[in-house]
Amino acid sequence: MRVATWNVNSLKARLARVEEWLAYASPDVLCLQETKMADAALPTMAFHALGYEVAHHGSGRWNGVAILSRIGLEDPVAGFSHAREDPAVESRLLSATCGGVRVVTVYIPNGRAVGTEHYQAKLSWMADLRRHLSTTCQPDQPVVVCGDFNVAPDDRDVWDPSRAHGGTHVSAPERAEVQALLDWGLVDAFRLQHSQDRLFTWWDYRAGDFHSHRGMRIDLVLVSRPLADRVTFALIDRNARKGKLPSDHAPLIVDIDFPPGGRRGEAVG
């Protein structure tokens, strides 16, 4: 089972790139963030033509999340289980069952600046995510939580920790919220395969940051323990960040031997 996550920063602007990437990367499940589309505008037929079912949660110009699956897509639920989001403002969380795995795609708020109301709202949103997981999933079940977390989990995930400290994405409370998800029972799948530093998923468009390799690893695939023991491969596809009109994020791919011994692209059950 190949799971991928990608903040595309406008699906309308990058649909052709996403279609091309699906054709060569061939994920079984792709979670998208920042589609910046309303549900009615989603190019569903384009994805169906490539063999993917689609669930989407979006209201228009901002945010928007989607799950594409070619191994089945059941029970899609938008928003938190305990408090539905205002669809005109949020559209940051979507869950569905794909091939026997509960998949959750997230686009966690940016936070803007430490100490602001936006930062506090980010921490509250992350606490709501933990509550949502604890009421809808069990850590001994196959669960994947992935997307743009807008948090670099530790200093290995930042181009220059001394320059980044004091800002959002690296503050102790944000990192503590990610750690709380790990304590609940999730595992950072990428780190099961790669322990070294300076492996990033996001680079600012400005000042040539991508070419200078000034970035952060803020896109994560977190998996429950039954899946963590079966992670076989992980890759940040930097090539998808190159070329004309790229997103500022690169896709993150994780391969999981689930169902055990199953063929890729084959639904469970």
Cα 224 from Cα 46, distance rounded (Å): 31
pLDDT value at 265 more than 60: no
To the query of whether residue 248 is one of the catalytic residues in this protein, the response is: no
123: pLDDT strictly greater than 80: yes
Nearest to 56 by CA among 85, 24, 34, 27: 34
pTM: 0.94
The answer to whether the CB of 131 falls within 8 A of the CB of 171 is: no
Task: Look up the CATH superfamily of 2-256.
Answer: Endonuclease/exonuclease/phosphatase (3.60.10.10)
Cβ proximity of 25 and 253 under 8 Å: yes
Q: Is the pLDDT at 268 greater than 50, yes or no?
A: no
Cα–Cα distance measured from residue 266 to residue 106, given in angstroms and rounded to the nearest whole number: 25
pLDDT higher than 90, residue 106 = yes
Tokens of 44: 């569903």
pLDDT at residue 87, as a whole number = 46
pLDDT for residue 100 is more than 70: yes
Domain ranges of the chain: 2-256
Catalytic residue selected from 28, 39, 52, 107: 107
Quickly count: other Cβ atoms within 10 Å of residue 85's Cβ.
18
How many Å apart are CA 237 and CA 20, to the nearest integer?
Answer: 13
Q: Which of 28, 52, 119, 148 is catalytic?
A: 148
160 part of the active site: no
